[in-house]
Chain A
Amino acid sequence: AQSVTQLDSQVPVFEEAPVELRCNYSSSVSVYLFWYVQYPNQGLQLLLKYLSGSTLVESINGFEAEFNKSQTSFHLRKPSVHISDTAEYFCAALNAGKSTFGDGTTLTVKP
């Protein structure tokens, strides 16, 4: 069975600071990895995904994540956050049509 662990439940940072949201997964088979974001009072939105190929994937709003097979990690990073990045972030692993999610990390960006 696969599992996903998000190591931080709450991450408070100041605006324009860098941030890293950590995600580790465990699976005995190949998985596809995703980060979703949920803004207040909205649904889940796909932020970025790793299916194959380059281990560094980027989103359109400046986030990036690196797939590290040896460390079974898929950490999400952004070099400079904005107030508008305040949201809950979910890491997920997809295998055989079933997504397994972490508990979520609430990112709070303070002015």
Chain B
Amino acid sequence: EAGVTQFPSHSVIEKGQTVTLRCDPISGHDNLYWYRRVMGKEIKFLLHFVKESKQDESGMPNNRFLAERTGGTYSTLKVQPAELEDSGVYFCASSPLPLTDTQYFGPGTRLTVL
């Protein structure tokens, strides 16, 4: 069974540009999560989808971040415009229902904003 995949693995952009990160969850997993680790600090929750609906987006830092999950399959996280402090590793995770199930993480996308 394929795991959670993320694309790209690395992205280097300049401040003010737009970047879109993609996450493909494990097939059949209704729950999809985005997390971020900035500058070696703790991994922080960004948001949670159940199928195509946003269940909890309390961790989204500001309105420059937009997450979508069309059709309840893959998800994208767009940062527009990117700022220096957005640099970090963005992790995606998925899990089946219920919410107590283990979250399976992807390899992450390392974003560097110059």
Contact = CB atoms under 8 A, between A and B. Distances in A.
B75 to A, nearest CB: 15
B55 A97 contact: yes
Given A96-B99, A100-B45, A43 B91 contact: yes
A73 B107 CA distance: 27
Given A42-B107, A44-B91, A49-B102, A99 B42 contact: no
A36 B100 contact: no
Given A44-B91, A97-B55, A90 B43 contact: yes
A43 B99 contact: no
Interface of B: 31, 33, 35, 40-45, 48, 55-56, 59, 91, 93, 99-100, 102-108
If over half of B's interface residues share one DSSP class (helix, strand or loop), that class is named, otherwise mixed; here it is strand
Contacts of A69: none
If over half of A's interface residues share one DSSP class (helix, strand or loop), that class is named, otherwise mixed; here it is strand
A45 B40 CA distance: 17
Contacts of B45: 98-100
B100 A94 contact: yes
